[in-house]
Amino acid sequence: MSASVLEVLGVIIACGGTGASLVLVEPRHRYGAMGAGLFAAAALITGQVAGQDRFDDLISQPAALGLAVILGATALGATAATFQRVPAAFAIAAFTVLPLRLPIQIGGETNFLLIPLYGVIAGGFLRGLWLCARRRDSELRTDSAPGPGEPPAVRYLSIALAASLVVYGLGVAWSDDPTNAVRTVAFFLAPFAAMLALLRDVRWYRKLVGQVLLASALVALVFAVLALVQFASRDLLLNKDLKDANQLHLYFRVNSLFRDPNVLGRYLALVIVGIAAWIAWQRPAREVVAGLLVSAVLLAALFLTYSQTSFAALAGGLGVLLWLRFGLRGFACAAALGALATALVLAAGGPPRDESVDQGRSDLAEVSSGRTDLIGGGIDLFRDAPIAGQGSGSFAIAYRREIDKVRKPVSHTEPITIAAEQGVLGLIPYFATLVFAGLILLRPWPAGNVARAGVAAAFAALFVHSVGYAGFAIDPVTWALLALGLALRE
Return the pLDDT at 336: 80
Distance of alpha carbon 246 from the chain centroid: 27
Domain extents in the chain: 5-200, 206-487
Its pTM stands at 0.91
Q: CA-CA distances (angstroms) from residue 453 to 320, 326, 480?
A: 9, 12, 15
| pLDDT at 349 > cutoff 70 | no
Residues 7, 13, 14, 19: is their CA dihedral positive or negative? positive
What percentage of the chain reaches a pLDDT higher than 90?
62
| pLDDT at 259 > cutoff 50 | yes
When pLDDT is cut at 50, 70 and 90, the band that residue 350 belongs to is: very low
Return the pLDDT at 60: 64
Helices (H), 363-403: 364-367, 371-384, 395-402
CB count in 10 Å sphere of residue 245: 15
Cross-strand bridge partners of residue 104: 111
Give tens-digit pLDDT for 391-400.
999 998 998 8
- How many whole angstroms separate alpha carbon 453 and alpha carbon 490? 12
The stretch 15-43 carries a mean pLDDT of 96
- How many whole angstroms separate alpha carbon 346 and alpha carbon 325? 29
Return the pLDDT at 215: 96
DSSP one-letter string for 34-103: HHHHHHHHHHHHHHHHTTSHHHHHHHT-HHHHHHHHHHHHHHHHHHHHHHHH-THHHHHHHHHHTT--EE
When pLDDT is cut at 50, 70 and 90, the band that residue 285 belongs to is: confident
Return the pLDDT at 405: 74
Return the pLDDT at 109: 62
When pLDDT is cut at 50, 70 and 90, the band that residue 360 belongs to is: very low
CA–CA–CA angle 329, 331, 334 (5° rounding):
110
When pLDDT is cut at 50, 70 and 90, the band that residue 66 belongs to is: confident
Residue 66 burial class via C-beta count within 10 angstroms: exposed 0-12, middle 13-18, buried 19 and up: exposed
